Amino acid sequence: MSVRFAIDSLDFVRNAGIHHGKIPLLELSRLHDFLFDSEGELIYQVRGQYDIHGKPGLYLEIKGNIHLICQRCLGKLAHTVDLQTFLLLVENEAELDQIDDDDAVDAILAAADTDVLNLIEDEIILSLSISSRHPEGECKIHKPESNEHNLTDNAQSAHPFSALAALKKTN
């Protein structure tokens, strides 16, 4: 288990802080509901920096491979995580409410004890599809062979117009 890394977000930006590391998927417990297995790890980097308007923020970069659960067949679905995002830091709820109206900007409240791993886990979960699935035709859904053969045999022998055809021949 790696050590949780918490930062004073505004101080981290003022000091142009950079932190990077690896996170085993086992440690991202909220992500487990989406995962087929918890094998592997993600590589991350967080940097404190100012945006082009001079506002403080955290730049997150997250990379790695995970296995999601396909919602169609419940099988293993390979997924590449490759996220780069800038989170604007705001100092109060009023500022946050104002920025929430702009869909182009992601903002969070600045805090003296921002847990970086929770932040990374949030960004990964937000980036996932609502319903992760294999591309069409790639799911390995089990179909019993005996049922398929019975259905095709019954369909051929019980054609809906076969009785009508028999009546036609007799008259």
Per-residue pLDDT tens for 62-109?
999 999 988 888 888 899 999 999 999 988 887 777 777 666 788 888
What are the pLDDT digits (tens) for 44-53?
999 999 998 8
Rounded Cα gap, residues 13 and 10, in angstroms: 5
Classified as helix, coil or strand, 12 is helix
Cβ pair 35, 66 in contact under 8 A? yes
C-alpha 70/C-alpha 72 separation (Å) is 5
Q: Report angle CA 19, 21, 24 to the nearest 5 degrees.
A: 145
SS3 assignment, position 73 = coil
24/170: higher pLDDT: 24
Give the largest Cα separation in the chain, rounded: 98
